[in-house]
Chain A
């Protein structure tokens, strides 16, 4: 490894220094070479030339630096403005340089080089302000650089500003985008006079870069906005697709259900009818045996056996009827568009459903208490629908609500708890919103996923067929083109929100066929 400069004498060290100095100023090599031989008088312009070159290099470096800032900050224009302000101020030897934006006729100060804290605060406090209060904005509107060589001889506002901040001259360089003024760079100096041409050009370069940066950010924001919109519509499409798949599933299940129900109906009728008959026959057998001569023991046995037989047959009838009601519900579920399709008053339909459900629950349970609240929009108006089907859907939801609210009362035994069910309507123009809210036990998350599936029920065996909500869903969504959503908090409340279009987009004739 050679280390010549360390061991070399003074002469060689000096040589090396000279060489490295020459290397460091590669572009000024020619002038350096002739320098030693030249006279003092001749040296001046040469040295001035080298200063120019040095400055040109610095300017190049500064613009390159700003391009780097632009590239590294695609979403934020602020670092670019700051880099421009400080570079311009440094290269021009200014007192202070500020970058302004003009947006919707309002002048915003976006970056500036600091001077003293007091003066800086005053500057910041002066913005934003309307362009009419800043005559300097109009100076550069034509896209040309404007200079004020001496603030003392200029208009009052300029004079005042100059005195307050401590500068004498100022140069305004416009930021133009498609012929419109979008901002300007204000470069102030302590000395009077106008800027040299190459400084004016430099400021114009900075201005161009600022415009590019602003455009960049705008385009970036636009792309992002577009991306957001696209991803939103993609989400919407996915949701719609999911709903479609779900609806299709329900539809095919509905058809399957109807098929099964039809097949089961006949044998079930036989079971029910024969067992009911047999119960009667057992009775008759008992009557017949009364005339027979039997020992007490035998009579007792016969009595016991016929009673058991009759009880069993009654059980067959009872459970057969249960199966029958399931089958009936299955058939109702699969049947669509029956009944008439006509305009009906939504408020009275909901009111009627509330009354029916209340009576139904009373008939089933006997004594019970629930507060029914009606909050109907007087502008509820009429909707084209199948009144029978919609009533069935409302009935299901209301009956579920009553069930949940009364169950919370009996199970939780909270003091002062009042089971309440609220039904409300709201006119939304082309649609109507119906809300059915109960303060009952709520629906756990795992149940929410499945609750619209046919045959899914949380009620004890024999109490629910698991078809209520799935039927309701079909009626609202498939038959009427509406929407049904649920909001619930376990142990607090459940609220079903139904949105029905006022006009169905199908003819009644199409749906009248089964």
Chain B
């Protein structure tokens, strides 16, 4: 069973960017990437049993509807073993202590 990385971002071009960035790993089938356009979308997806083993969620923070930070405790509840990171929001974390704290407890 291969492992799954779920990327949550409201920007559709993120998918192309990630697929290209990790093209070698994906070609080598080291993991599978899946994309959700919103936090709600991501939560409904991980609520169902998955084909692959979900090991990591990469999520944007500022998204319409539910933010990445609001999603974090819900993910922890449903999948306590899954780690969550916010690569695109990282630049903001330096200035937002709440963000740093949240990520610190989440990852």
Contacts and interface: CB of A to CB of B under 8 A. Distances in A.
B13 A277 contact: no
Interface string A252-285: 0000000000000110011001100100010000
B17 interface: yes
Nearest to B96: A514
Interface size class of B (residues with CB under 8 A): 10 to 19
B20 A281 contact: yes
B13 A270 contact: yes
A68 interface: no
Nearest to B18: A273
Contact of B95 (A265, A274, A281, A331): A331
A226 interface: no
A31 interface: no
Contacts of A269: 88
Contact of A277 (B21, B88, B96): B21
Interface residues of A, number: 13
Contacts of B70: none
A335 interface: yes
B95 A277 contact: no
A160 interface: no
A270 B20 CA distance: 13
A180 interface: no
Contact of A338 (B11, B88, B95): B95
Contacts of B20: 274, 277, 281
Nearest to B13: A270
Contacts of B16: 274
A449 to B, nearest CB: 31
A328 B21 CA distance: 24
A274 B17 contact: yes
Contacts of B13: 270, 274
A270 B96 contact: no
A273 B17 contact: yes
Interface in A327-355: 328, 331, 335, 338
A335 B11 CA distance: 25
Interface string A410-444: 00000000000000000000000000000000000
B95 A514 contact: yes
Contacts of A266: 11
A277 B20 CA distance: 7
Given A270-B13, A277-B17, A281-B20, A335 B95 contact: yes
Nearest to A334: B95
Nearest to B24: A284
Contacts of B17: 270, 273-274, 277
A316 to B, nearest CB: 15
Contacts of A270: 11, 13, 17
A270 B13 CA distance: 8
Interface string B1-35: 00000000001010011001100000000000000
A335 B17 CA distance: 30
A263 B88 CA distance: 14
Interface in B49-107: 88, 91, 95-97
A274 B97 CA distance: 30
B45 to A, nearest CB: 23
Nearest to A278: B20
Contacts of B88: 269
Nearest to A284: B23
A333 to B, nearest CB: 12
A266 B17 CA distance: 13
Contacts of B11: 266, 270
B77 to A, nearest CB: 29
B87 to A, nearest CB: 10
A409 B9 CA distance: 52
22 contacts: A265-B91, A266-B11, A269-B88, A270-B11, A270-B13, A270-B17, A273-B17, A273-B21, A274-B13, A274-B16, A274-B17, A274-B20, A277-B17, A277-B20, A277-B21, A281-B20, A328-B91, A331-B95, A335-B95, A338-B97, A514-B95, A514-B96
Interface of A: 265-266, 269-270, 273-274, 277, 281, 328, 331, 335, 338, 514
Interface of B: 11, 13, 16-17, 20-21, 88, 91, 95-97
The 6 A-B pairs of least Cβ separation, nearest first, read A277-B20, A335-B95, A273-B17, A338-B95, A270-B13, A277-B21
Given A274-B16, A277-B17, A335-B95, 10 more contacts: A265-B91, A269-B88, A270-B11, A273-B21, A274-B17, A277-B20, A277-B21, A331-B95, A338-B97, A514-B95
